[in-house]
A and B are shown apart, each in its own frame.
Chain A
Amino acid sequence: MTRKGVFVARLAGWLAVMAVLMWHGGAAWAQSAPQDPAAAANAYVNAPHDWELWFPPAGSPMQAKIDWLMKYVLWIMAVVVGFVAILMAVVIFRFRARVNPKPSTTTHNTLLEVTWIVVPCLILVAIIIPSIDLIYYEADDTNPYMTVTVTGHQWYWEYKYDSVPGLDYTSYMIPDDQIKPGQIRRLSVDHPLVLPVGEKIRFVISSADVLHGFYLPSLGVQKYAIPGNTLTSWTIIRKPGTYYGQCNQICGLNHDAIPIEIKAVPLNDYIAWTKMALANYTENTVTPLLSSPMPRNQLADATR
């Protein structure tokens, strides 16, 4: 290796280390005030990454089950598509006019026709059985450790902790021009949803104005937020970390600018955080607003 080559390799290595440090540690440095009880969540960031080909790493048992069923169904369907592709390839090569100048006149084959009804039915049964299991699993929101009432607004989320009286705050996206190192453009928010790890958390989802979608891909949670209606979902977050989600039902001007950021921390840290949050987040009674909604146009400018 030439001297120049060594230098380039070292430079690349150094840059790579710096990049990793900035990526993983940036959030921690930025908020390294020792009193931040949610700091444990900064150790692991579950966010989309470049050229991603598959679901995010499963952050919850539900997402693990979804991941498994997805692979199961997709493999079956891949076999079906592959089978059709093979048949088409055979047709293309064996039954070209040049190769097969005289067409057959077959128009019926009862056995074949019954087969291509029965076999797909059997495949469907094989898909339906585990799928129904998953539907019941997703619907089982009983016996939660805690409940968070999530309310969608144009264009921010409001989180109300039912088990912590008075804890009710709003969460706005960090505008593009105010992104700090370690934050993720279009995903990071001013006040994340802080949740304990390993506990069953029930979301009660609603909306104050139009439809929104409460969508947490890494946790396998998605429900519409419907005004006048409440839907429930639940999750158990497996390990401390930062998880992201976005609004997934068109809600107007800033539909793409109300992400969800979740900081999952150990239970003790969570309890410490609720005390901190109660002290800092709720000097108000009626409108629980840390960051008051900006006027529509100003917000539009700030987020674009």
Chain B
Amino acid sequence: MRYRRPGLDVATHVILIIGALIFMLPVLLALMASTHTLPSLLSGGLALLPGSEGLDHYIQLLTQPAGGVAVPTWRLMLNSLIMALGIAVGKLTISIIAAYAIVFFRFRFRMLCFWLIFVTLMLPVEVRIVPTYGVVADLGLLNSYPGLILPLIASATATFLFRQFFLTLPPELLEAARLDGAGPWRFFRDILLPLSKTNMAALFVIMFIYGWNQYLWPLLAASDADYATLVMSLRRLTIAQDGVPPWQLATTMTVLALLPPVAVIVLMQRWFVKGLVDSEK
């Protein structure tokens, strides 16, 4: 219930707008700074408005190596994209079929399998980072896309969400399909997969963002610049040269790094919110 009190309503909107602005401020300032030269940033005066450089820094970064990064940023973005897509698609695929097996089949050691997978919910890759590095190195997967992707899909979050979703489906759906002559594969393809579309979209958004934003693992696994990702390279541009980091480039690269995931989240907001809230319930 909401009392209609005009004064309170205005105050509510004012606080919300101020809140939203404060949250946008760092990105707005970075966006402005990316259009200024470093001397103009240093000379004081608040860089609250677009500067003289326009998109020059973006073109410069995208086309040529800069700072301590040996490849142009388009290459970093490509690597990030491959890694994020690989994680999202890979995790979705292995999770949905694993959840399908656990929910719709009865076989020996079924619960053991469930618990083996479930335990992985507990430990993010950061905790086991050193031995994971060792394993990936032993397998010869350092500086490769599989090496970037595989350790990050070894977790059960998506399996768990699909399992919970499958359990909400009426059991008669499977029985009707069996009477209609559908075997395990047909049931999966014709019934389960179409019904899971919304959940898959939601998880895709979450996993894409998770993959794109990885920092520590690519830092270790991609020592070769050809496999470096955008987010892990940000730090290289914040290292001071002559006392001050090249902020005009660091802000440019940060804007490039946050643009794709933010675009995904804003465009797919409906699925994202549903997926997030459902998955954690």
Q: Do A and B come from one complex?
A: no
